[in-house]
Amino acid sequence: MDDEKRITTCNRVAYEKAADNYFAGTKELFDDDVRDFCRRLLLTSVKGSDIVEIGCGPGHDAEKMRRTGMNVLATDYCQPLLNIAQMQYPDLNTTRMDVTKIGLNENSCDGVFGYGVFHHVPPSLAAATTQRIHDILRPRGVLVMCLLGSTQFDRRIVANWGEIPNNPLQFEYFTPDQIESYLRQAGFASVEFFRESCAAYDNAPEFRVHKIFAFQVRAMKGSN
Ligand SMILES: C[S@@+](CC[C@H](N)C(=O)[O-])C[C@H]1O[C@@H](n2cnc3c(N)ncnc32)[C@H](O)[C@@H]1O
């Protein structure tokens, strides 16, 4: 199996096994401030109402955006998490989709939202994935993502994801410069970075020890 296929499959299995625990951990959203910030970044700049969320997990952000009147398609490659999203939010439109193999039409949405997903994309697929995200956006479409970076590591494997023994999950810690270069190469006309943080991130022992930080990016497609 290719290295990138192995990583994607291994990560998907890790999320499948940990789906219930992941959902339990998001019932009280400890990073609500950062999520609000990201949703606002998108909702205040998007020109139309068709939004695709990539890596939606239990669907909390997708549902919040839907309730503002947006037409949201919540996507994830982890079926158990999509089932949870659908059960929690029956009016949410969900579909299974691997972000590294986006199967949506070009020029078919106004906004793409990704909270905590791009840092699972294998580096060898990052440029092509960014290009597909760009291409599904309509002119003047907006992408907003929140990612984790680290000043210590390029990548890290968490061995027991979701507190399940031997359930490895791989994180790719792209730098903002790398992300900017993927976005510019894909053709995004403007790229802005933000460092909205919250106490839960700043104080998390895991984040401190491994010098992990959250950052956000908003990128806009040009008008033609
Ligand atoms: C850290 S969780 C974030 C979930 C949700 N956005 C949230 O904030 O709660 C990462 C999510 O991305 C999904 N994911 C990871 N790699 C993916 C891929 N290649 N395609 C689609 N979803 C992916 C996982 O299944 C998981 O739901």
* CATH number of the structural domain spanning residue 13: 3.40.50.150
CA distance linking residue 180 with residue 201, whole number of Å: 23
pLDDT at residue 149 is higher than 80: yes
Q: What is the DSSP string of 92-130?
A: -EEEE--GGG--SPTT-EEEEEEES-GGGS-HHHHHHHH
- Is the C-beta atom of 188 inside 6 A of ligand 1? no
- Backbone dihedral region of 57: left (phi > 0), alpha (psi from -120 to 50 degrees) or beta? left
With beta carbons less than 8 A apart as the criterion, state whether 51 and 73 touch.
Answer: yes
Note the pLDDT tens digit of each residue in 5-59: 888 999 999 999 999 999 998 877 678 889 999 999 999 999 999 999 999 999 9
DSSP helix/strand/coil, 29: coil
pLDDT per residue over 173-203, tens digit each?
999 999 999 999 999 999 999 999 888 888 8
Which residue has the CA at smallest separation from atom 2 of ligand 1? 116
Amino acid present at 54:
I
Bridge-partner residues for 111, per DSSP? Answer: 51, 142
What domain range includes position 196? 3-221
Indicate whether residue 110 lines ligand 1 (CB < 6 A): no
Mutate-to-test residue for ligand 1 from 56, 72, 73, 76, highest number of ligand atoms within 8 A of CB: 76
Task: Evaluate the CA torsion angle 63, 19, 124, 152 in order and state its sign.
Answer: positive
Whether the CB of 170 sits within 6 Å of ligand 1: no
Q: How many domains does the chain have?
A: 1
Q: Give the tens place of pLDDT for each residue, 81-125.
A: 999 999 999 999 999 999 999 999 999 999 999 999 999 999 999
Residue 79 CA to ligand 1 center (angstroms) comes to: 11
